Structure 1
Amino acid sequence: MKSKLLITCLFLITITTTRLYAQQESFVSEVNYQYLEKLIATAKKNYPEIKLRQAQVNAAKASLTQTKVSWLDAFTASYIYSPRNALNLVNPTIFNGYQLSVSINLGTFFAKPFETKVAKENYNIAQYQQQQYNLNIEANVKRLYYAYLEAQADLRNRARAVTDGEIAVKQLKYSFQKGESTFHDYNEALTSLYNQNSFKVQGELSMLTAKANLEEILGAKLEDVK
């Protein structure tokens, strides 16, 4: 009777300890902030949306430069050549040789400051959008990195629970064969071990999913980021 009570208590202690491990496990101490900065830098280097934002900034800057140069479009220069020895009876002129004239399109001239201002604001907008997306991608990388660490910690808990369950099953099997515990106790231990193995498989899937999500935004494998 004492042996049966001892085995049952041992089984309960094993399961309780497993649950305590699950509650106490923390991944905060595993956060590597230097490595996290490398992950963020990798995402900013590889993620296509980052390249798109930079291209938009470059295009807006080029448009602003073009608008500033296009001030010259309002002016038109031309020249007239009147030979010194020629006599023009239709349009007589008092000047001979080359004559330079400059005309200005007032509509174009007065429109240029507004065009330049619009181009400058578009450039600012592109920069602000790029800055905002940089902040977004930093937050996303951090969130996915923390989720990956959490999944790893959870998987360790589940793996530990399986190990503890296997120990309990072996002990109860041995005591059952000696007639010191009931088949009901042994069967409960087997059921618990089966459940813990199922939880472990779920934990492995969660960990791999978290890793895939992080690698998607990085544009690279975690193993390649050093």
Structure 2
Amino acid sequence: MKIKILTVLVILGLVIGNERVLAQESIINEVSDVYVDKLVNAAKANYPRYKIFKHRIDIAKANVSIASLSVFDALTVSYIYQPNQNTIIDPVNPTTSYFKGFQAGVFLNLGQLLRVPVNIRRAKSDQRIAESEQAEYDLTIGAEVRRRYYTYLQRVAQLKLQSRTIIQSENALKDAEHKYRRGEVTFDSYNQTQIQYTEHIQTKIEAEGNVFIAKAALEEMLGDKLENIK
């Protein structure tokens, strides 16, 4: 009866312990919306591709101004100035006369003038397209930063779990070695414990690499070290 009770308590302790480990390894409590927003803003300020969209909007706005001012391209103003204002008649050809003084003329290119409204509408359409592309990328860069940040937190949590597993595996190896020397376990059992310990070390190394990879991918978009964003 005592053995059954002890067995039940051990199983219950393992279940509770596993639940505590899962609770400790949850990344939900580590996610801060305020901090995530800071990461997104950092990416928008530093990520080169995001700056391209802003420059496209600036160019589109400049083209609208240029198209609006192109109305003056349809107008041509010319003038002639001669000091003497007397009219000189050509004796050979009386119909020809030479005017002295100041003469000015304005010429209108009708085709150019009719193209001005079309150019303005096209420039404004290009501006709206550029603004829509930036608005779309606002959503894209925000989602991508969040995805990479959550992946980074996931990799950190996995590394913590593997670190604890290594400690448990190391203790199990020491215990198995002690029992093997005392003849309480076979060599095959002791060797299996060594193999499991080696596998756990390899898994931890992979987990460490995954943390570095996830951090580098996140910092690629941030344009800065993660530690510098408080």
TM-score (normalised: structure 1): 0.83
Equivalent position of 1:37 in the other structure: 37
Question: Are residues 134 and 38 of structure 1, via their aligned partners in 2, closer, same or farther at CA, if it must alter by over 3 Å?
Answer: same
Q: 1:200 aligns with which of 182, 197, 204?
A: 204
Cα distance in 2 for partners of 1:192, 1:85 equals 111
Aligned structure 1 segments of 4 or more residues deviating by more than 4 angstroms: 17-24, 80-85
Q: How many residues align?
A: 211
* Alpha-carbon contact 1:22-1:154 (below 8 Å) kept: no
Amino acid at match of 1:36: V
User: What is the alpha-carbon distance in structure 1 between the residues aligned to residue 103 and residue 25 of structure 2?
Assistant: 90
Q: CA deviation at 1:21?
A: 4.5
State yes or no: 1:105 paired with 2:112. Answer: no
Choose the corresponding residue for 2:137, options 133, 144, 163: 133
- Per-residue deviation, residues 110-154 of structure 1 (Å, max 9, x unmatched): 111101111111111111112212221111111100110000011
In the alignment, which residue of structure 1 is the partner of 2:69? 69
Aligned pair partner of 1:91 in 88, 97, 100: 97
Note the aligned Cα RMSD (angstroms): 2.6
> Structure 1 CA distance, aligned partners of 2:141 and 2:164?
34
Aligned residue number for residue 4 of structure 1: none
Taking the aligned partners of 2:97 and 2:136, their CA distance within structure 1 comes to 65
Secondary structure class of the residue paired with 1:102: strand
1:176 shift after superposition: 2.5
Which residue of 1 is the match for residue 79 of structure 2? Answer: 79
Q: 1:19 to 1:177 in 2, by over 3 A?
A: farther
Q: Is the 8 A contact 2:87 2:97 kept in 1?
A: no
Instruction: Name the SS of the counterpart of 2:59 in structure 1.
Output: helix
Write out aligned runs for 1:9-20 (5 A): none
Greater RCO (Cα-Cα under 8 Å, separation 6 or more): 1
